[in-house]
Every structure is written in C-alpha cells, then in structure tokens.
Amino acid sequence: MSRRSIVAGNWKMNGSPDSIKQLMDALLEHNLADLKCDIIVCPPALFVERVLGVAGNRVAVGAQNVNENDKGAFTGEISAQMLKSIGCKYAIVGHSERRQLFAETSEQVALKASALLELGLTPILCVGETLEQREGGETLSVVKSQIDAVVNQCGIKAFERIVIAYEPVWAIGTGKTASPQQAQEVHSAIRMDLAKQDKSIAEGVSILYGGSVKADNAAELFSEADIDGGLIGGASLIAEDFYQICRAAG
Ligand code: 13P
C-alpha cells in the first residue's frame, strides 16, 4: 500500500514579512519537483495569504489553527471558510501547544476537524502524550482517546481526508526526538486501532511524526514502516534544513 509521504512545516509564532520572503525564496531555489513527498508550510495566520502568493504549485499552505464555528462573535478567531476563501488547503488542529496553553479539548479539536472537512480542507490532526503520561504507561490510551474523539465526531471514513501527526509533547522543541522505534510503536498502534474500524482507511492514512525532527535524524525516522513523513517545527524555519528533511521523505 503506498501512502502519501508528507513533510509539513509548522512555523508557529515566528517570522516577519522579510524573513518569510527569504525562507520561501531559499526553499523554492531547490528543485522540489524531483521530490515525491507533498510539501506543506503553515505560517502564522496573518502571513498565510502572503505565502500562498509565492508558494507556487509545489508547496501547499496551511494554517496552524481554525475556529470550529462558521462565523460570528469570536474575537480574534478565523473560520474554515475564511481559510478556504484565500486558497488555503490545510490546517493543523489539536497541536499540543493549543491543547496545553489554550485549553483545547479533544472534543473541540474534533469540531475543528469537522469544520475543515465540511469545506474540503484537510485537517492535520496532532496527537501525543506528555512525559508524565508516557512514564505512567498511558501513551497509547491517550493517543487513542484523542483520535477517538475525531472518529466519534466525524466518522471513520473522514480519515480518508485527514492527516495524523503523532507529536509526543516531551519531544517538541526539546531536542529529545523519540527514537524511530518509539515513534513506530505508536504509529503502528494508531494504524492498527483504525484498522479495527476500517482496514483500507487505516492503510491509506498518512501518519507524520513530529518532535525535534532535524535534517540529520529525519531519514532514520522516515524509514520506519508506519512513519509517512514529518511535522517540523524549529527546523522548518531554516530553508536548507527543511529541504533536506523533504529529501529524506523521498
Ligand atoms: P520541533 O520540531 O521544534 O520540536 O516542533 C515540533 C512541532 O511542534 C511541530 O508541530
């Protein structure tokens, strides 16, 4: 079964008009057409349209969050329709920073995924355990419950159009990458769990790994059977490093 291999950059709250231009110029200098993976960048919302204007057809652009409501009195928020209207195709939902710092629940994350799917956008659904949960032996149950919330809200068939990103919280921005075996164990458990509901959907869903992926550890992670690419934070802000990670994904 061949799955889409995907490398997505989550720029988080970084960048300025100048730095973004430099980053995109440097990335697009490379011959991306020869790479097989899908490439996505997720700038801060304010810059999504600007990046869409320069990204060309080889690099897709996503948002880092979306509000679950259609419209209305939600000061500071952005709807799926707004993202769609400017040509944005993806949005990250449920990043651990949003779960932890902005108290997003799994149910809310599921509603965000649903809002995107209704308009034909692709959610990049982040799941992952904290260090405490890992040490307590809860990794698989935490990840399962985060995914189950989306299955319950959107149905298993929705996973035909969802990308999953496993991001252990303890590996994000810490320089502590999960070992390829640790990541593979969780990726394979996610896939097996989905397979209980629909084998072909489980086989087809791309599951990315995120958490301190760098140019020098990407190839080893991506060589695991159930790791279909990466969601990259810090290293996605350095064009050369991000390109090397894309190359590692094929
Ligand atoms: P780092 O690659 O900086 O660890 O961040 C990972 C991440 O959170 C991507 O969403």
**What is the DSSP secondary structure assignment for residue 56, as one 8-state letter?**
T
Please give the distance, rounded to the nearest whole angstrom, from the Cα atom of residue 120 to the centre of ligand 1. 26
Q: Would you say residue 87 lies in a domain?
A: yes
Please give the distance, rounded to the nearest whole angstrom, from the Cα atom of residue 72 to the centre of ligand 1. 31
CA–CA separation, 105 and 111 (whole Å): 10
pLDDT in tens, 192-235: 999 999 999 999 999 999 999 999 999 999 999 999 999 999 99
Predicted TM-score (pTM) above 0.75: yes
Write out the residue range of the structural domain in which residue 98 sits: 6-248
CATH of residue 175's domain is 3.20.20.70
Question: What residues does ligand 1 touch, defined as CB less than 6 Å away?
Answer: 10, 95, 167, 172-173, 210-213, 231-235
pLDDT in tens, 58-75: 999 999 999 999 999 999
Minimum-distance ligand 1 atom for the alpha carbon of 214? 2
- CB count in 10 Å sphere of residue 174: 12
Q: Would you say residue 229 lies in a domain?
A: yes
Q: Would you say residue 61 lies in a domain?
A: yes
Cβ contacts of residue 8 below 8 Å, gap of 6+?
A: 39, 40, 41, 42, 62, 90, 92, 124, 163, 165, 208, 229, 230, 231, 232, 236
| Count of the separate structural domains present in the chain | 1
Mutate to test the pocket of ligand 1, among 96, 170, 221, 232 (most ligand atoms within 8 A of CB): 232
